[in-house]
Amino acid sequence: MSIESRVLHDFANQQHLLGITDHTLNAIVNNKPGYSVEKAQKFIHFHNRIKSELLHHPIITNNNFTKWFSLGEMSETQLRSFVIQFSVFSNLFLVAQLLKTINANGLESMRSSKEILVNELGVVYKNDKQTTDCDSLVSSDGSIEGGIYHFRAAHFEWLLQLATSVGLEFNDVGKRRHGNKSTLFFCDELNRLYANEDYTISQASSFAVENWAAAGFWKELINGLTLYQKKYNKGIPLFFFTRHDDIEAQHAKHTLDELEDSYFESEIDEDLFISSGNEILDAVAVFWTGLDDLRKTVLQ
């Protein structure tokens, strides 16, 4: 630990500010406008509220569909119906992400939205670690600035590879017409909340969605697909799922820091943040419950 970070650590200890990032502590010590010990204590209180009133949402703590899926006991028909609904969500998410970009409340947040949108479409994040051709399609860290476009790096193409391996064709997946009621409800709620013009609502939705995505459901899906492959001795490209699992780990690291930054830079309506976050998680729950109902009704 450097002398500077030891001084900040001691300061955080004395002022009961453990958990606050070093750059915020630095700003408090240097009397940056908007930054104070009181505000930091308020943020810690807000973060505790988020943990207890938002992050314990049942869809984060208990997802019956992914729990079942992780056992790998699905039939091919059940797997196909899952892939179709997931492809609709994945493709329509592009619409929500574009709307979010348009509705950004500043250049910085517009650029953050574009990072996600354009990466979804196939621009690979550029970073210092890329050394080979193979790496150029799979980077999960860095920026789209100066990145290279590859059709094959579009997330939809990864999912299409998986879809074709289980007998689906291009026109069987990804369109609104393929979505069932609960999938479409979720996609429409993403447009309404995640891409909302009110920055608190869109920020709360992003925060909730990122925490949902980082809570382990990608790993459960990967486990299920891996077991399914072994059971039927079948090769299924898992790239779409393994890549997202890697990307989420990166995103999750940043979300709390971003929230902390905007808490100090602007005023956040805490109640609106908590209620909007819960609203989008309710919609996430509708999506997964819809998948759970579907797998019980499709042929085994």
Nearer CB in complex with Fe ion: 25/222: 222
Cα 189 to Cα 181: distance, rounded to the nearest angstrom = 12
Residue 291: Cβ within 10 Å count: 25
Min separation Cβ 165 and Fe ion, Å: 18
Cα 104 to Cα 111: distance, rounded to the nearest angstrom = 9
Per DSSP, the three-state class of 123 is strand
Cα 88 to Cα 247: distance, rounded to the nearest angstrom = 20
295 touches Fe ion (CB under 5 A) = no
Min separation Cβ 100 and Fe ion, Å: 14
155 touches Fe ion (CB under 5 A) = yes
Are the CB atoms for 86 and 182 separated by under 8 Å?
no
Of 112-141, binders to Fe ion (CB under 5 A) are 120
Cα 70 to Cα 76: distance, rounded to the nearest angstrom = 15
Min separation Cβ 160 and Fe ion, Å: 13
Nearer CB in complex with Fe ion: 80/244: 244
Min separation Cβ 155 and Fe ion, Å: 4
How many amino acids of this chain bind Fe ion (CB under 5 A)?
2
Q: Using CB atoms, what's the residue nearest to Fe ion?
A: 155
Nearer CB in complex with Fe ion: 199/239: 239
The DSSP secondary structure of 198-233, one letter per residue, reads SHHHHHHHHHHHHHHHTTTHHHHHHHHHHHHHHHHT
Nearer CB in complex with Fe ion: 57/155: 155
Are the CB atoms for 290 and 183 separated by under 8 Å?
yes
Q: What is the DSSP letter of 153?
A: G
Nearer CB in complex with Fe ion: 46/239: 239
Q: Which stretch binds Fe ion (CB under 5 A): 77-85, 155-163, 225-233, 285-293?
A: 155-163
80 touches Fe ion (CB under 5 A) = no
Radius of gyration of the chain (CA): 21
Nearer CB in complex with Fe ion: 220/245: 245
Min separation Cβ 36 and Fe ion, Å: 39
Of 202-241, binders to Fe ion (CB under 5 A) are none
Residues within the interface to Fe ion (CB under 5 A)? 120, 155
